[in-house]
Amino acid sequence: MFGTCGIRKKFSTYDKSEKSFTPNMALRLGEAIGTAIGSGNVVIGRDIRTAAVAIEYAITSGLVSTGCKVYTIGMVTTPTLAMSIDYLEADCGVMITASHNPPEYIGVKLWNKEGLGYSSEQEEEIEEIYQNRAFLHKKWDELGSVVQIHGINEVHIRKIMKNIEYRCKDRSFNIIVDPGNGSASEIGPKLLSQLGLEFITLNSQPDGTFPGRMSEPSSKNLEDLRLFIQHSKKIQMGIAFDGDADRVVFLNEDGEVVEPIRILTFLAQEYIKTTYPDPANRPPLAIVTPVNSSGVIEHVLEPMGVSIHRTKVGDINVSQAMLKYDAFLGGENCGVYIWPQFTCHKAPDSLAAIVMLLKYLSKYDYKFSKVMKDIPEFPYIKKGYELEEDIIFSDENYLTIAEKLEEALKTNGYTNFRRTMVDGVHIRFDGGWILVRKSGTTPILRITAETQSSNGETEKVIALGKGVIGSLVSLLDEE
């Protein structure tokens, strides 16, 4: 039932096979969650999808039937849900969302009392209870209750402004914000207004059909936003959210998307320079990012004494690794930023990321694009190849790929290999890296590479990877 990021399926009113997500499944899921936490307190929120209300009510019914007290906070962003768990002293958070997926999808993400996404072990416990129907049985006078909470967006904004302490005192910005008709349609503009900024909005009417653009804030989906910026003489920054606002993407004054890992690197650099100006007295510092993120983060931050730890793709994997390595910051190449010091939770928080970026940009008198010049952008290419057979790659398969890939790279003059095997095969070498990773949901093998020299050099590394894989399994056309 659970995948890489909670549950995410197409919605259906009824599906005996349970390949789609139905209210009947949601009811039993609520019973399973309530059973697992022992009739505790649960905060539940939803995004703007048309199926979200049906799923929320069904899950709430299951929770109440197992004795839970349910705090319902309505249509919110995922970061707001994560923040509210501590604020409402809940034992669990339930977010009804399919994130950046198309509008016919719906899903659920679960959070523990620390605001950390459920681990695979916790999800397996829920699923076992669900499959065995081993639910708590409560009498009529032992049932739970539902409490409706109002004004949670205002609480989230107040916490961010208090923790980050920024009021645009040094420099004002003129911004266009595009929530993509998603959950940030209210809180995003409200945050910018509280900061005293000039801004206009695009696609800021909540609508679960996503009429303005598709939910994922990819360059392709942000074409209208790019054009608005390019035709404006005033706009200095564009901000785009995905459907539940756990992702945020920034565009500069020229309408160009700034790669999120470059933003993450800039935020870390500025934080370190501000908080620990003397390099000789810096404590051990760590950052976490997945294996598919740009190597610019190592290039800029390792010389500052920062340890970079790579994880599997997925914000929950990043959050859990941050605990393990006591990291102050984590993020993904898709626009995820996790900064517990300033958010009081361990989930992605796009709203806090906006305020932190504006705070550090305000130190400089020149344009966004010029500020980012010190953070290089390396030639980064990702390609996917369809497999003739949808096979599962074992650790042994990946080890064979790693050995043959290093041999091919060495033959072509690459040196100093550093191998990571947490999610496929990730090999760093002097001047770049390559990642080979089988998709978890489709018969696609993805090869991603980056070098510090040119697109041609990166294409060469991709070709080496494809040659190695092609000698082991049959690849079809590029997707």
Sheet strand arrangement including 475-478: 418-420, 425-429, 432-438, 444-451, 380-387, 475-478
Annotated active-site positions, please?
99
CB neighbourhood size of 91 (10 A): 18
Parallel/antiparallel/unpaired status of strands 425-429 and 285-290? unpaired
CA–chain centroid gap for 194, Å, is 25
Q: Sheet of 285-290: strands edge to edge?
A: 306-311, 285-290, 329-332, 336-338
* Distance (Å, whole) CA 338 – CA 218: 20
Q: What are the structure tokens assigned to 18, written together?
A: 């349970």
String of DSSP letters for 439-458: -SSSSEEEEEEEESS-HHHH
3-state secondary structure of 185: helix
Name the CA dihedral angle for 357, 358, 359, 365, rounded to a multiple of 10 degrees.
120
The values of phi and psi at residue 31, to 5°, are: -65, -40
Q: Are 271 and 331 in contact (CB under 8 A)?
A: no
| Residue 393 DSSP symbol | P
Q: Could you tell me which of 86, 222, 95 has the C-alpha nearest to residue 163?
A: 86
> Which residues of 128-271 form beta strands (DSSP E)?
145-148, 174-178, 198-201, 237-241, 248-251, 257-258
Question: In angstroms, what CA-CA distances link 36 with 95, 178, 401?
Answer: 17, 38, 40
